[in-house]
Amino acid sequence: MAEATPATAPVLVVGGGWAGLSAALTLCRHKVPVVLVESARQLGGRARSVRSDKRILDNGQHLVIGAYQSLLTLMQQIGVDIDAVFERLPLTLQLYRNNKLSLKFKAPVLPAPFHLLGALGSARGLSPRERLQALRFSRNVIHLNVTAAEDFSVQTLLQDHGQPPGLVRKLWEPLCLASLNTPIDLASARLFTRVLQTLFAGSRPDSDLLIPCQELNALLPRPACEFLESRGAGVELGQRVTGLDIDAQGIRGAILGERRVAATQVILATPHSVTRRLLSRHPALQPLAAKLGELGHEPIATLYLQYPA
Ligand SMILES: Cc1cc2nc3c(=O)[nH]c(=O)nc-3n(C[C@H](O)[C@H](O)[C@H](O)COP(=O)(O)OP(=O)(O)OC[C@H]3O[C@@H](n4cnc5c(N)ncnc54)[C@H](O)[C@@H]3O)c2cc1C
């Protein structure tokens, strides 16, 4: 007979990236017993700092925009001073091609939507006609609602809205790559319209760029770990979940190598390929696992430069 899960068992959060940290912190703040398990020896997942010789490097530059309200609120709730860890700048986009400035726009300090109308209307590198076309598209996109079922590519979206190839190449393609890390022929029109709506239809500070001025670990992973541990939550590093303990009654816990950890609920905050593997062993979860199998990966290259002191 399966061992019963004790009523006092915690919720188990698998994965200590920012998603797992956010889940664990939210449960902890609501006084729900929680244990976070992370397979690496440190927290932070893809947004972490790593030590290389004597240097501390971020795993790629990470930018936040003012519209990341849930993240910023979470950071404040655990005592992070947002103004100390980020430098806040008005949305600025500056692109170079063949060593020449090809596009520059900067949002003026005006209430929304005039900040972005001002930015596009005065953008360097766009002809007056292109500015008008970009403004028209920006106005139309605010009212668009692309559902997941009818989603199509950003390329199709731009073509349908009469955006000429030169403008796509100069403005929309780099903006799509910067925000979704996916080329326009593959990127989702639904996600891109959400990004543009956030930039164009939100309040002016929503479009601000927040540039970390401290290492990534100081932004969330380290203060989150301190918050969790000071409130009695478990944080286990170097522990890989290898299976889920599920029976006819539901989830019982997770398997960590030789060990079974009892849990009332399990939150998988793991990369989709890991989640798929963990789910696919359980017949009832196979349809969900199959859906996750349809997702791919997009690489990001990071170039580190070191200048003389
Ligand atoms: C170079 C780079 C630049 C980026 N720039 C930006 C940016 O500017 N702005 C932005 O918003 N986003 C950016 N991102 C994306 C952002 O980093 C990710 O969206 C975010 O970190 C994902 O967090 P996550 O918690 O969902 O997943 P992850 O960070 O992948 O966390 C999953 C965690 O699960 C752990 N894990 C995996 N398998 C197991 C297991 N079996 N048992 C236990 N633990 C397990 C992993 O070790 C990992 O720590 C960037 C990403 C990269 C790589």
- Residues 198-215: pLDDT tens digits? 887 778 888 899 999 999
Identify which has the larger pLDDT, 118 or 14: 14
Closest by Cα among 3, 300, 302, 36 to 181: 300
Find the 15 Cα to ligand 1 centroid distance in Å.
9
Q: Which of 89, 68, 86 is nearest to 18 (CA)?
A: 68
For ligand 1, the distance from its centroid to the CA atom of residue 48, given in whole angstroms, is 8
296, burial (CB in 10 Å: exposed 0-12, middle 13-18, buried 19+): exposed
Average pLDDT for residues 248-257, to the nearest whole number? Answer: 93
Task: Tell me the pLDDT band of 1, cut-offs 50, 70 and 90.
Answer: very low
Ligand 1 centroid to Cα of residue 110, in Å, is: 34
Q: Mean per-residue pLDDT for 239-244?
A: 97
Backbone angles phi, psi at 301, to 5 degrees: -100, 140
Considering 20-24, 95-99, 179-183, the range whose residues carry the highest mean pLDDT is 20-24
Superfamily of structural domain 11-58+217-293: FAD/NAD(P)-binding domain (3.50.50.60)
Query: Residue 34's pLDDT is what?
Result: 98
pLDDT at 104 over 70: yes
Tell me the CA–centroid distance for residue 63 and ligand 1, in Å.
Answer: 14
Q: Which pLDDT does position 28 carry in this prediction?
A: 97
Check residue 46 and report its DSSP letter: T
Residue 271: pLDDT band by 50, 70, 90 thresholds?
very high
Sequential DSSP letters for 157-205: HHHHTT--HHHIIIIIHHHHHHHHSS-TTTSBHHHHHHHHHHHHHS-GG
Q: What percent of the chain has pLDDT over 90?
A: 71
Please tell me the distance from the alpha carbon of residue 47 to that of residue 219, in angstroms, as a whole number: 10
CA of 92 to the centre of ligand 1 (A): 25
The length of the chain, given as a count of residues = 309
Q: Name the band, by pLDDT with cuts 50, 70 and 90, for residue 4.
A: low
- Atom index in ligand 1 nearest the CA of residue 62 equals 8
CATH architecture of residue range(s) 91-207: Orthogonal Bundle (1.10)
Closest ligand 1 atom, residue 302 Cα: 1
- Spatial CA neighbour of 94 closest among 107, 112, 85, 109: 107
For residue 15, the ligand 1 atom closest to its alpha carbon is 34
Residues 52, 58: Cα–Cα separation, whole Å: 10
Ligand 1 centroid, distance to 47 Cα (angstroms) = 6
Atom of ligand 1 nearest to the CA of 46: 29
Question: Residues lining ligand 1, CB < 6 A?
Answer: 14-20, 37-40, 45-47, 60, 62-63, 240-241, 269-271, 274, 300, 302
How far is the centre of ligand 1, averaged over its atoms, from the C-alpha of 17 (Å)? 5
Q: What is the pTM of this model?
A: 0.92
Domain boundaries of the chain, sorted by first residue: 11-58+217-293, 91-207
Give the atom of ligand 1 at the shortest distance from the alpha carbon of 63.
8
